[in-house]
Amino acid sequence: MYGGTFGAVLALVTDKSVSSGPPPVEAPIAHAPIGAVAEPAPPPEPESTGEHKLPFGRPGKPMGNSPFMFGLVAALGVLTAWWLVQMVAAAGSVLVLIVVSLFLAVGLNPAVEWLHGRGMARIWAITIVFVGVIAFFAIFALSIVPALTEQTTGFVQDVPTLVQQLQNHPLIRSLDQEYQVLDKLTQYVTSGDLASQLFGGILGVAGVVISAVFSFLTVLVLTLYFLGSLNSIKESGYRLVPRSRRERVTKLVDEVIRQIGGYVGGNLIISLIAGVVTFIFLSIAGVPYALPLAIFVAITDLIPMVGAVIGAVVASLVGLLTSLPVGIACVVFFVIYQQIENYVISPRVFKSSVDVPPIATIIGALLGGALLGVVGALLGIPLAAAVLLILREVVLPRQEKL
């Protein structure tokens, strides 16, 4: 009995002597509340390997923050921008033709939609409208080319008579006797040197004519293409917009296209009225070349602000060459008609399509004319209307919500 007790005590003493230090204290187990998600343990910090960091950049990219790399990338960006600008400048004439064709298509689209809404197939509506446009330019060419040819030939033939009349003036006679001015002027006009310097010779004239014909045909073809595929172009463009904003963008773009088309179509209607009224008046007044002058007035009437004045001045000068009373009658007619067009015809035509303040009209025409000449002046007003619409429908409501 004592032997067993002594053995147990000896075993206990032996076990305590082997273990050094106090007995380990177990940490209490922290129970996470029910439903809580245990946070992941933070990753262990990397041990220091004794490597030295590079003076710039990340490991493996020693030139990441180098001033040399920054300058190189900046220089490449500048060169790329310059290259793009040069490409746009080189293709400027082609881009102008594309923009003009697109605006013509948008302007002719209301007429196509009007015919299509009355039961006519769209392809036939486009054909009728396009044939009307071609017929207008054909009539203009057939009417103005013979007149210009006849007037130019007559002027060249009458140069000796005009020179003889100038020689009767005492001052001009004295200058001519000393410097032979009139003889040199007669030889210069009748020898063809004037045409050579104006158009660069025969090759220059041919180049101008070929370029004009090519541009005209290009505009016609592109206008026909845009007119036929205008709806598909719009649908393809709308698909590029995110679905959440597609409906809003569709309504806004459709309204912009409607206003641009309303302006272009309305301007064409006003110009047509101006040409018809001018033709009637010039025919009654007995002014020669009434049809080409009326078409010229209709075309120049498309140009904002100064176009109507240009057409009126040319027609009045032709009337003045006919007789003094006819010239005065032409001036009176154009002054009265311009007032009627500005205050009666234009407001009625544009009242349901374009609402552009006068200051925006002037600024748009001036900026467009400075950038793209006559074409820019034509396109400046509808673009100003589009910008005002975007400001009114998008920018101002967003500012009100801030």
Buried b / exposed e across 43-53, counting CB within 10 Å, b at 16+?
eeeeeeeeeee
Q: How far apart are CA 80 and CA 68, in angstroms?
A: 18
Q: How far apart are CA 214 and CA 217, in angstroms?
A: 5
- Residue 185: exposed, middle, or buried by beta-carbon count in 10 A (0-12, 13-18, 19+)? middle
pLDDT of 54: 47
CA triplet 9, 13, 17: central angle to 5 degrees? Answer: 170
Instruction: Say whether both 207 and 308 belong to one domain.
Output: no
Q: Which residues contact 96 (CB under 8 A, 6 or more apart)?
A: 372, 375
Q: Which residues pair with 16 in a beta bridge?
A: none
Q: Is residue 68 part of a domain?
A: no
Q: Is residue 53 part of a domain?
A: no
Token pair belonging to 99: 């923009």
Instruction: Say whether both 252 and 400 belong to one domain.
Output: yes
Residue 220 has pLDDT above 90, yes or no: no
Q: How far apart are CA 7 and CA 1, in angstroms?
A: 10
pLDDT of 39: 52
Which range is most confident: 45-59, 90-104, 319-333?
A: 319-333
DSSP secondary structure code for residue 342 in this structure? I
Instruction: Say whether both 254 and 367 belong to one domain.
Output: yes
Instruction: Say whether both 148 and 251 belong to one domain.
Output: no
Q: Is the pTM of this model over 0.75?
A: no
DSSP secondary structure code for residue 49 in this structure? -
CA triplet 163, 167, 171: central angle to 5 degrees? Answer: 130
Percent of the chain with pLDDT over 70: 65
Which range is most confident: 3-7, 152-156, 262-266, 292-296?
A: 292-296
Instruction: Say whether both 267 and 167 belong to one domain.
Output: no
- Residue 80: exposed, middle, or buried by beta-carbon count in 10 A (0-12, 13-18, 19+)? exposed
Q: How far apart are CA 345 and CA 342, in angstroms?
A: 6
Q: Is residue 48 part of a domain?
A: no
Output 342 or 200, whichever has higher pLDDT: 342
The separation between CA 200 and the C-alpha centre of its own chain, rounded to angstroms, equals: 31
pLDDT of 261: 78
Last residue of a domain, one of 240, 274, 293: 240
CA distances from 374 to 3, 300, 365, 385 (A): 127, 10, 9, 18
Output 272 or 60, whichever has higher pLDDT: 272
pLDDT of 292: 81
Instruction: Say whether both 285 and 401 belong to one domain.
Output: yes
Token pair belonging to 170: 């005492």
The stretch 125-144 carries a mean pLDDT of 81
Q: Is residue 152 part of a domain?
A: yes
pLDDT of 121: 87
Output 262 or 163, whichever has higher pLDDT: 262
The stretch 335-361 carries a mean pLDDT of 78
* H helix count then E strand count, the chain: 16, 0
Residue 334 has pLDDT above 90, yes or no: yes
pLDDT of 18: 44
* Virtual torsion, Cα 167, 170, 173, 179, nearest 10 deg: -140
Residue 10 has pLDDT above 60, yes or no: no
Instruction: Say whether both 227 and 294 belong to one domain.
Output: no
Q: Which residues contact 234 (CB under 8 A, 6 or more apart)?
A: 253, 254, 257
Q: Is residue 27 part of a domain?
A: no
pLDDT confidence bin for 167, thresholds 50/70/90: low
Residue 23 has pLDDT above 70, yes or no: no
Instruction: Say whether both 214 and 281 belong to one domain.
Output: no
Q: Is residue 390 part of a domain?
A: yes
Crossing angle for the helix pair 358-390 and 243-285, to the nearest 10 degrees: 150
Q: How far apart are CA 161 and CA 51, in angstroms?
A: 101
* Virtual torsion, Cα 183, 189, 191, 194, nearest 10 deg: 130
Instruction: Say whether both 236 and 375 belong to one domain.
Output: no
pLDDT confidence bin for 6, thresholds 50/70/90: very low
pLDDT of 12: 46
Instruction: Say whether both 270 and 387 belong to one domain.
Output: yes
Last residue of a domain, one of 240, 275, 309: 240
Instruction: Say whether both 219 and 263 belong to one domain.
Output: no
* Virtual torsion, Cα 359, 360, 363, 368, nearest 10 deg: -150
pLDDT confidence bin for 205, thresholds 50/70/90: low
Token pair belonging to 181: 């001015």
- How many structural domains is the chain composed of? 2
Task: Print the domain residue range for 94.
Answer: 89-240
- Look at the alpha carbons of 43, 45, 51, 55 in this order and tell me if their dihedral is positive or negative: positive
Residue 207 has pLDDT above 90, yes or no: no
pLDDT of 330: 92
Instruction: Say whether both 193 and 278 belong to one domain.
Output: no
